[in-house]
Structure 1
Amino acid sequence: MREQILKPDWSFPAAPAKDYEYLVLSVGPHESLPEARRKITDHAEYGKWELQRTRIYRGGIHRYWLRRKVMRVQRTA
């Protein structure tokens, strides 16, 4: 199981995805789906991630995209 965090692209000001950061969870065909489900649940419960997309590819690879809102805080004096 592989996890990869994709940060928002701040270089392009009009990018629609800049309000979210993404976590991509890839599960191989011989890995446990209940274990992947548990990981997604843990990320959603404790990391405030929400499931955005699920894809099943040829060969049995499952890929899950989770996203969460980026909170921008402005500095005060």
Structure 2
Amino acid sequence: MEWEFAQVAFSRELSRGVVAKLLVERAEHGGWELDRVRIGNDGIRRVVLRRKIIRAVRTA
């Protein structure tokens, strides 16, 4: 199985609820799922999202 990854960073000014809504929107409309969340000493949330890469298979 192959995965596509995307990295997103959220400012410390954004509340936890706002970040959750943004991630839910990406999950519902883009097919992304949460892979990893890191909160740095500076308060920035660094999020890694992933989704499956679906390859089309030719039929003869």
1:43 lines up with 2:26 in the alignment: yes
Distance 1:38 1:23 in 2: 17
Aligned-pair identity (%) = 37
Runs of at least 5 residues in structure 2 that lack an aligned partner in the other structure? none
The number of aligned residues is 60
Q: Report what 1:26 is aligned to.
A: 9
Runs of at least 5 residues in structure 1 that lack an aligned partner in the other structure? 1-17
TM-score by length of structure 1 reads 0.65
1:1-77 maps to which residues of 2 (within 5 A)?
Answer: 19-76=2-59
TM-score by length of structure 2 reads 0.80
Which structure has the higher relative contact order (CA within 8 Å, separation 6+)?
A: 2
CA RMSD of aligned residues (A): 1.8
